[in-house]
């Protein structure tokens, strides 16, 4: 589904150039859930943004669904395959657009018909009733906002969902709800996830495999079982696991 190799991402021009990601390589199979773990500034979100086309200063190969991607330009087919859920639900919804406006715009842009019925179903899918349809973001709680953001991502009926710390801005009790929702949605829609998190427990809950990142490089790719056993091959991984227990 997703193949990344040799990925370098940088910001700025020399002499101020910062190499955010160096030589990252991983692949995610169809239907798999893959985690990217590391401390802040390790480049995990940057990888997601480069895949999504929100950063154009990168080199290497990114292959989505068998097709090579270049620069920051993406075609319609890409947006129908890949969608993203952002970290902060307070920043990812337009403050002047109602839930209805957000979802119908997404559906229209994806060329879907029968918008009324689809909006109702999307809201049901993410556990919001019809009563939420005409609310504005300031009338929603953080968890509800994130559900709307997930519904927006699902509008395109994508197969690959990029999750950028989707729960880190939420209360602990709400976190669990959103994580369970994401788990259910994956089973229902057969989605592939790439999830960024600094929280090993979250990744352990959602993912099958994960990559551990440190200062822009992937230091180890391991299975979640290995994570649970605390069996990291690298010192840094063991250090990270120990720190989270």
Q: Which residues contribute to the site for other proteins (CB under 8 A)?
A: 52-54, 76, 79, 82-84, 86-88, 91-98, 100, 105-106, 109-110, 131-132, 134-136, 138-139, 149, 152-153, 155-156
Q: How far is the CB of 174 from other proteins (least distance, A)?
A: 18
Distance CA 223, CA 63 (A): 22
Q: Report strand pairing: 160-164 vs 192-197.
A: parallel
Q: How far is the CB of 109 from other proteins (least distance, A)?
A: 4
Q: How far is the CB of 104 from other proteins (least distance, A)?
A: 10
| Burial class, 70, CB count within 10 angstroms (exposed 0-12 / middle 13-18 / buried 19+) | exposed
Sheet containing strand 67-68, strands side by side: 18-28, 2-11, 58-64, 67-68
Q: How far is the CB of 239 from other proteins (least distance, A)?
A: 31
Nearer to other proteins, 22 or 135 (CB): 135
Nearer to other proteins, 151 or 222 (CB): 151
Q: How many CB atoms lie within 10 A of CB 134?
A: 11
Nearer to other proteins, 155 or 179 (CB): 155
Nearer to other proteins, 125 or 217 (CB): 125
Nearer to other proteins, 136 or 236 (CB): 136
Distance CA 154, CA 142 (A): 18
| Residue found by looking up tokens 């002499």 in the block | 15
Q: How far is the CB of 91 from other proteins (least distance, A)?
A: 5
**152 three-class SS:** helix
Is residue 46 within 8 Å of residue 7, measured between CB atoms?
no
């Amino acid at each position: 589904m997703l193949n990344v190799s040799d990925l370098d991402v940088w910001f700025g021009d020399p002499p101020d150039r910062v190499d955010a990601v160096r030589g990252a390589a991983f692949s995610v199979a169809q239907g798999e859930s893959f985690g990217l773990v590391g401390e802040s500034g390790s480049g995990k979100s940057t990888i997601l943004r480069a895949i999504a086309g929100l950063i154009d200063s990168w080199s290497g190969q990114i292959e989505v669904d068998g097709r090579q991607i270049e620069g920051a330009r993406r075609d319609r087919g890409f947006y129908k395959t890949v969608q993203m859920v952002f970290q902060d639900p307070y920043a990812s919804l337009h403050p002047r657009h109602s839930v209805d406006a957000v979802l119908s715009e997404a559906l229209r842009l994806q060329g879907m018909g029968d918008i009324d019925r689809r909006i109702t179903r999307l809201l049901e899918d993410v556990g919001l009733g019809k009563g939420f349809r005409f609310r504005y973001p300031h009338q929603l709680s953080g968890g509800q906002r994130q559900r709307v953001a997930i519904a927006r991502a699902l509008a395109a009926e994508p197969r690959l969902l990029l999750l950028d710390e989707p729960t880190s801005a939420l209360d602990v009790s709400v976190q669990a709800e959103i994580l369970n929702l994401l788990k259910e949605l994956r089973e229902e829609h057969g989605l592939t996830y790439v999830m960024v998190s600094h929280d090993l427990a979250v990744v352990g809950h959602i993912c099958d495999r994960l990559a551990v990142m440190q200062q822009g490089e992937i230091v180890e790719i391991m299975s979640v079982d290995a994570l649970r056993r605390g069996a990291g091959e690298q010192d840094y991984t063991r250090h990270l696991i120990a720190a989270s227990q």
